[in-house]
Amino acid sequence: MPPRTHPTRPLALPVALLLATALMTVGLTACSALSPFNTCDDTAARLENLRSQPILESVPKGATAPKKLASVYAECVDDSGSAWLYAERVYAFPGSRQKVVDFYRTTAKADGWRLQHDPSDPNTPETTAGLCFTKGGDGEALLLTVRFTTASELKFVYGYDAGPEFDSGSGFEIEVGSETDGAKTGCFD
C-alpha cells in the first residue's frame, strides 16, 4: 500500500476549527480598532451645537414641555460600535397631530430642512409615522425627526408619569441627531 500524500478527513476538522478561530480573532480585533469618529470622545462641541438648534424650541402655539422634561436632553450614544449624537425635546400639544405635522413641514422647510419620505412605506400617514428631515452636507449633516408619543410611552422610556397635559391632544418628541463627524446621513439609510 502506497503512503498517503495528502491530509485526510481526520485532519480536516481541526484545520477548519483553527481557521474559524483565526478569522473570529481577526474580526474581534478589528472591532477594537474602530475609527475614533465612531466613539463619543471629543464630541462635546458638536453635542452643544445640536442642543442649541433653534428648531428644538420652535413649537406650535399652545405646545408645552412637561414639567420634568422641560429642557433639552442631549447625549452621545456609543453602544453599537458607531456613536450617534442627539438632542431632543418632548412636548404636549392640545391640538391634533395634523397641526403638528403642518407646523413642522412649514417651520423646518423655512429653516433649510429637507423633508424625506420613507420609500418602503409611502402609504403610512405622517400623523402616524411622524416626519424626518435632513440638513447640511458632509461634515455638518443633521437629521431632524418629529415623532408622536403617548403617556404610556413616556412612562416606559423616561419613567415620567405624564399628567393632564397628555390627557387630550398630541404628545410629540422632536430630535436633532448627527454622526459624530457630521457625515451625511439619511432618514431611511
pLDDT tens figures, 137-188: 988 999 999 999 888 888 888 787 777 677 677 899 999 999 999 999 889 8
pLDDT tens figures, 53-109: 999 999 999 999 888 888 999 999 988 778 999 999 999 999 999 999 999 999 999
Q: Domains in the chain and their CATH numbers?
A: 36-179 (3.30.530)
Cell numbers standing for residue 126: 405622517
pLDDT score of 6 more than 70:
no
Phi, psi of 13 (to 5 degrees): -65, -50
Identify the CA nearest to 43 among candidates 96, 86, 4.
Answer: 86
Question: DSSP assignment, residue 36?
Answer: G
Q: Is residue 107 classed as helix, strand or coil in its secondary structure?
A: helix
Cell numbers standing for residue 12: 480536516
Q: What pLDDT was estimated at residue 58? A: 96
